[in-house]
Amino acid sequence: MDLISSWLGNTPEFAVPFALAALGLIITEKSGVLALGAEGLMLVGAVCGIGAYLTFEQTAVALVMAMVAAGVVSLLFALMVLVMRINQVISGLVLVFFCQGLTTLTGTLMGWTNQPVPGLEAIALWPLSELPYVGRFFIQNVVVYLVPVIFLISVWALNRTTSGLRMRAVGENPQAADAAGIPVLGYRLAAIVIGSALIGLAGAFIAVLSTKLWISNMTAGRGWIAVALVIFARWSPWKALAGAILFGCIEALIPQLAASGIKLPQYFVFMAPYAITLGVMIWVAISKRDSSSQPGALGTPFIREERT
């Protein structure tokens, strides 16, 4: 029972980065831009979050600075795909490799490696926190509790506001949106920056609130899992949140099994999340799930037609 209680208590900490990164990707891709740079942007958020905390010693400032940094770096991606119209798959991969080198260089030069930070104190949601076995699930830091609120606001903005509906129209049929007077490139740029800021927040959560220190390439492939999670969720934010909790349960279970005395091969532990991700992708492919939820113009560069 202690194993179950500890496992459930640690699950949100593992799930939040997946959830925030997946939401950021969904927002970006709803505008028609294929985003594969989550791994790199999470690293930017991680190193800048730690750097900001070590400088200002304020957790809120660190998280905001991480979001700003990821948003600024995403402008490079926006330049490549919106202005230069470089292939979006290649641009995403280039962004990841660039951010890996940039964050390693920055963190090393600034001396931020292995510098511990205190994080945030956990808050108990009474009386839920007193429930047997599952009570620890409701003892988390404030950012964990804000994640459902962030999802709720994002879903409302995408489906109920004029800007959100216009952004989705840009992702479905940019030519028609342009003919209706909607600035396609402007909405795609906004989606890239907002989505990247959320991905940066996911990276900062790992560094500032979970591991509470920074090391090179510490995201360890979570950005790629988030990419797969978006496909699994068919670009639905709520399904992505459910998938993030599922992957969080899996990641949280592995160290709990090891701590309980169950011997697991080291490389099996490293491989397990990616093997499960691969299995999910294969299941999505063979189940022939409806692809109507995929943005119609996803990955297609916008070229404005000349009007006569």
Q: What is the pLDDT of residues 140-184, one digit of tens each?
A: 999 999 999 999 999 999 999 999 999 999 999 999 999 999 999
Three-class DSSP category at 290: coil
The verdict on residue 189 lying in a domain is: yes
Whether residue 21 contacts residue 228, with contact meaning beta carbons closer than 8 Å, is answered with no
Averaged confidence pLDDT in the chain: 91
The verdict on residue 155 lying in a domain is: yes
Q: How confident is the model at residue 266 (pLDDT cuts 50, 70, 90)?
A: low
Q: Once rounded to an integer, what is the mean pLDDT over residues 10-34?
A: 96
Return the structure tokens found at 235: 């670009």
The verdict on residue 302 lying in a domain is: no
Give me the CATH number covering residue 88.
1.10.3470
Torsion of CA 182, 186, 187, 193, to 10 degrees: -170
Distance CA 74, CA 196 (A): 6
Q: State residue 1's pLDDT score.
A: 59
Whether residue 16 contacts residue 202, with contact meaning beta carbons closer than 8 Å, is answered with yes
The verdict on residue 147 lying in a domain is: yes
Q: Is the pTM of this model over 0.95?
A: no
Return the structure tokens found at 55: 């400088």
Quick check: 293 pLDDT over 90? no
Residue 83 vs residues 77, 99, 184, 189: alpha-carbon distances, Å:
10, 20, 12, 10
The verdict on residue 307 lying in a domain is: no
pLDDT digits (tens, 9 = 90+) for 198-249: 999 999 999 999 999 999 999 988 999 999 999 889 999 999 999 999 889 8
Whether residue 59 contacts residue 120, with contact meaning beta carbons closer than 8 Å, is answered with yes
Residue 61 burial by Cβ neighbours in a 10 Å radius (0-12, 13-18, 19+): middle
Q: 19-39: string of b/e by CB count within 10 Å (b at 16+)? A: bbbbbbbbbbbbbbbbbbbbb
Query: What's the one-letter identity of residue 51?
Result: G
Return the structure tokens found at 63: 């998280």
The verdict on residue 152 lying in a domain is: yes
Residue 282 vs residues 22, 230, 252, 277, 295: alpha-carbon distances, Å:
19, 14, 23, 9, 21
The verdict on residue 308 lying in a domain is: no
Q: Once rounded to an integer, what is the mean pLDDT over residues 71-92?
A: 96
* Total domain count, the chain: 1
Query: What's the one-letter identity of residue 12?
Result: P
Three-class DSSP category at 214: strand
Distance CA 199, CA 21 (A): 4
Q: What is the total residue count of the chain?
A: 308
Q: How confident is the model at residue 291 (pLDDT cuts 50, 70, 90)?
A: low
Q: Once rounded to an integer, what is the mean pLDDT over residues 8-22?
A: 94
Return the structure tokens found at 153: 């606001």
Q: What is the extent of the structural domain holding 158?
A: 2-293
Return the structure tokens found at 145: 């509790």
Helices 2-30, 222-232: axis angle to 10 degrees equals 70
Ramachandran class of 55: left when φ > 0, alpha when ψ lies in -120 to 50, beta otherwise = alpha
The verdict on residue 306 lying in a domain is: no
